[in-house]
Structure 1
Amino acid sequence: MDKFVVRGGNPLLGTIKVSGAKNSALPCMAAAILTEDEVILENIPQVQDIETERKLLTSMGAEVELGYGRAQHRTHIKCAILSDPVAKYEIVKTMRASSLVLGPLIARTGIARVAMPGGCAIGGRPIDLHINGLEAMGATITQDHGYLEARADRLKGAHIVFDKITVTGTEDLLMAATLAEGESIFENCAREPEVTDLAALLIAMGAKIEGAGTGTIRIQGVAKLHGARHRINPDRIEAGTFLVAGAITGGDLNVDCCEPKHLGALISKLEQCGVKIDVGADHVRVRSGGELKAADITTEEYPGFPTDMQAQYMALATQAEGTSTVIENIFENRFMHVQELIRMGANITISGRTATVRGKTPLQSAAVMCSDLRASASLVLAALVADGETILDRVYHLDRGYEHFEEKLRGVGAQIRRMGDVFGRK
């Protein structure tokens, strides 16, 4: 099992490039189910979740080619025949995005059998919002032995108001509605850039969609979609992670190939902490402004502070003068990194959904355990400023969503190496 060994103390200096967003790529790969034609996706990140999605689509009968060499970061998907419309548990048990194939499968084939989603243990992502929406569109859904089975001759357009904002629920029903009969109106939709990215692909495939990126989306169903070529958005969470890495190490780091307008909440908070930020058209430069200052955050749906940056920000807060309050509003179990940070010397207390971080505390090296994708990143950030050599176990969590993470950090001065087999490389 792979481990990272990190020796702290080096400021990060130079330029680091951001990969494509895996949280955009996964629904876009699922959208290829909606057509018999070829869908070509560019800027696909080379991460474990993408490989899992490839296996999932292939198991259903799709032809999926992940590019290597000159065609690196490009995938060709052709779902001409979907001989087995089942998302098998043994494939999807490590990936929460499995529910994203439910809508497109039933819209295209009239039947879908999908294992309940797995992935990080950071809290519940209720699939009932998917189920309620599909039932409102005319699907019959049953559940047994850990699988959902959905059937419909053809979905019907519906007016759906989401009980709570849900990214995957919005994406799943958006895909289903593109082939439904009549008009669908969705309210209280997720506004994340990943939803807008998916809608852009669907429109390129011939879907009729208005309002993506707002709280209300209108979809006029069509009889058939066709193939398309689409470039995936830059990964805003990877970009944010590197911005925090530059800030926490007191470095001078240019985060390139990103979309700054997707990073507004984080950039504003870093500036509150005393970090110097220069924003360009497709890059953000982060520089030390002296001592870091404490600032509070509350995670919210986009465009608020992202839950996927909470753990990384908490690592930064341990190095800021004063007391920071971190309130987690999205997931109920997303403080699993706290005990590991405490083992490294952090002063953090938890009460319900609120963590109180008292800084500045010197961090020390320790053997720590990664519990989920973003927790893994936060522990790497802490290790970059810790005294001594930190060993991080179970970094396969990190491989699910960050492409060549340690190589990118090493390229800007971090002392980090991997022990064990490297995913995707020999």
Structure 2
Amino acid sequence: MKEIYQVPTSQSLQGDVIISGAKNAVLPLMAATLLCRGISIINNVPQLDDVNTMAEVLRYLGAKVEHQNSSLTIDTRECDGYQAPYHLVTKMRASIYVLGPLLARLGQASVALPGGCAWGPRPVDLHIAGMQALSAKVELSHGNIHAHAGRLQGADFTFSISSVGATVNLLLASVLADGTTRLFNAAIEPEIDNLVDQLNAMGAQIFGKGTSTLVIEGVTELKAATIDAIPDRIEAGTYLIAGAITQGKVTVKQVQPAHLTALIDSLTATGTLICCEDDSITIDAQQRALQPISIKTGPYPLFATDLQPQWMALCVSLTGVSQVTDTIYPDRFQHVAELCRLGANIRVKGNTACIIGTPNLSGAPVKASDLRAGAALILAGLIASDYTEISDIHHLDRGYQNLIGKFATLGATIKRSHHPVATNQAIAAPLLSLCG
């Protein structure tokens, strides 16, 4: 039976919302605890399906994991497993992060090829090439990555493209390698910096944080540590765009504005007012005629691909023509057809979408193909007339903690139930149907 979110139209979202810890930071931090025996603590951890999935992977490997409130305690003192199975890894692409630490500490790892969102090919070639550069023997068979090594050997490795996932795995592998490893064209996302801080707190010697060249002096052992996950810049960006699309005034709190510079600049260019404090950002789009602008995604600090679908929803609501180009994942446009079902006018050519603004959207049955596509459909649904029914919203449970509660603080009433609601009234209320 379908689960449904009923979302009555919000004329203008107003209020404050507290931003949770970043899942894209927490998952590497969790994998890093496999590098030593001990009890590690990660604070500011959101309650999300992806976090639960990684916890199950760690438990399968022998760790004890306890998640209370926003703190995660991971005990790896009896963690000796080296096989991460398909039935867990297929749920989430980030499960591949266990490859590096298992290989580094145990000398072997067997990890199923990862799953995750359903758009576009995202190969693991860089992960494998990086392990091979560190002298590991790697083979693919029966849908698994099998890697073996004595002690890994430090080496120079250049990423052919900037890759957050591969940078994470190479960092996790090289900290226990013999000698010096230099990573060139490494990702510089804030989540990478968060991981570097954790690893150095554990006793690693990593230099060059915040730059595309990371130098790792291998050590023989690490110790458990306590670390705080950074705020979720993608969640924060989603709520800021929600404020813009409803012409409201929204403040996101417990954030790091420096992590959202590209989005802030783009929102300012549309005509919204943005005010940044030390740990908060306020967007004021009340009674303002916003202008469409074009954006192009790119590696940090450029516009984040994880905010591309949400930005497209905003473009749909603005009078005029804009373009959205995704240079990171050219196939990340499955949400386009669903936005068009709501009345959007979008044409895609290659990795560029051309949007002709259509402020008057109308409700229709649509489907969330992935996490951020689901967020985009919520934003479009906030301004669509009648009811919008969005299926496969289980994707949203992977990346947005307490979505109903947080939208409620801004004035949008979202209810989750098991039965679709019919109405004869033209209420702009998106129904988000979750297939469990």
The alignment's TM-score, normalised by the length of structure 1, stands at 0.96
Aligned residue number for residue 17 of structure 1 = 18
Identity of aligned residues (%): 43
- C-alpha separation in 1, matches of 2:54 and 2:11: 36
Q: Which runs of structure 2 are paired with 1:279-290 in the superposition (5 Å)?
A: 279-288=276-285, 290=288
CA contact (8 A) 1:6 1:417 kept: yes
Residue 386 (1) aligns with residue 387 (2): no
Q: TM-score, normalised by structure 2?
A: 0.94
Instruction: Name the residue aligned to 1:297.
Output: 295
CA-to-aligned-CA distance 1:86-144 (integer Å, 9 cap, x gap): 11110111101011110000001001000001000122222110111111111001111
Which sits farther off after the overlay, 289-298 or 412-421?
Answer: 412-421
1:178 corresponds in structure 2 to 175
Task: Report the Cα distance in structure 1 between the residues aligned to 2:117 and 2:5, rounded to whole angstroms.
Answer: 19
* Correspondence for 1:373: 371
Cα distance in 2 between the residues matched to 1:9 and 1:135:
53
What's the counterpart of residue 234 of structure 1?
231
Q: Deviations over 1:290-348 (max 9, x none)?
A: 11101000010000000000000000001112101000111132111111111111111
**Which stretch shows the higher mean deviation, 79-88 or 373-382?**
79-88
Take 2:168 and 2:98, find their aligned partners in 1: how far apart are those partners? 10
Determine the structure 2 residue equivalent to 1:329: 327
* 2:153 is equivalent to residue 159 of structure 1: no
Write the deviation string for residues 41-70 of structure 1: whole angstroms up to 9, x where unpaired.
000010000000010000011111111xxx
Query: Hey, what does 1:32 align to over in structure 2?
Result: 33
Q: Verify: 1:138 aligned to 2:135, yes or no.
A: yes
Give runs of ≥4 in structure 1 deviating > 6 Å.
none
Q: Report the Cα distance in structure 2 between the residues aligned to 1:131 and 1:372, rounded to whole angstroms.
A: 26
Residue 79 of structure 2 aligns with which residue? Answer: 82
1:121 and 1:333 in contact (8 A); partners too: no
Match of 1:127 in 2: 124
1:310 maps to what in 2? 308
| Pair 1:395-2:396 in alignment | no
CA deviations on 1:179-235 (whole Å, 9 max, x unpaired) are 000110000000100100010100110110011221100000000000111000000
Alpha-carbon distance in structure 2 between the residues aligned to 1:123 and 1:101: 23
Work out whether 1:95 is the aligned partner of 2:96.
no
1:2 deviation in Å? 2.9
**What SS is found at the alignment partner of 2:98?**
helix
Displacement of 1:259 in angstroms is 0.8
* Per-residue deviation, residues 139-173 of structure 1 (Å, max 9, x unmatched): 00111100001000100100001111100100100
Spell out, residue by residue over 1:235-290, the C-alpha distance to the aligned partner (whole angstroms, 9 max, x if none): 00000000000111011111111110000000000011111111110000011151
Counterpart among 359, 364, 386 of residue 361 in structure 1: 359
Other structure's SS at 2:414 match: strand
Moved more, 233-242 or 319-328: 319-328
Instruction: Work out whether residues 404 and 413 of structure 2, in 8 Å CA contact, stay in contact via their aligned partners in 1.
Output: no
Shift of 1:359: 1.0
Maintained 8 Å contact 1:62/1:80 = yes
> 53-62 or 405-414: which moved more?
405-414
Residue 386 of structure 1 aligns to a residue in which SS? coil
SS for the counterpart of 1:385 is coil
Q: CA deviation at 1:365?
A: 1.3
Rounded Cα–Cα distance in structure 1 between residues aligned with 2:418 and 2:394: 11
AA matched with 1:137: L
What is the Cα deviation at residue 361 of structure 1? 2.9
How far residue 366 of structure 1 moved from its aligned partner, in angstroms, is 1.4
RMSD: 1.3
**Please, which runs of 5 or more residues in structure 2 have no aligned partner?**
420-431
Please give the alpha-carbon distance, in whole angstroms, between the structure 1 residues aligned to 2:330 and 2:282.
Answer: 33
Q: Pick from 237, 241, 244: which aligns with 1:244? A: 241
- 406-415 or 268-277: bigger deviation: 406-415
In structure 2, what is the equivalent of residue 48 of structure 1?
Answer: 49
What is the CA deviation profile of residues 19-45 of structure 1, one whole-angstrom value per residue up to 9, with x for unaligned ones? 000000000000000010111000001
* Offset from partner CA, 1:367-417 (integer Å, 9 cap, x none): 211110000000000011111222221110010011011221012101321
Q: Is the 8 A contact 2:343 2:358 kept in 1?
A: no
> Aligned partners of 2:398, 2:173: CA distance in 1, in Å?
26
Match of 1:117 among 114, 119, 123: 114
- Partner of residue 425, structure 2: none
- Report SS of the residue matched to 1:206: coil
Task: Give the equivalent residue in structure 2 for 1:258.
Answer: 255
C-alpha separation in 1, matches of 2:350 and 2:187: 25
Give the Cα–Cα distance (whole angstroms) in 2 for the partners of residues 102 and 213 of structure 1.
24
C-alpha distance in 1 between matches for 2:3 and 2:395 = 10
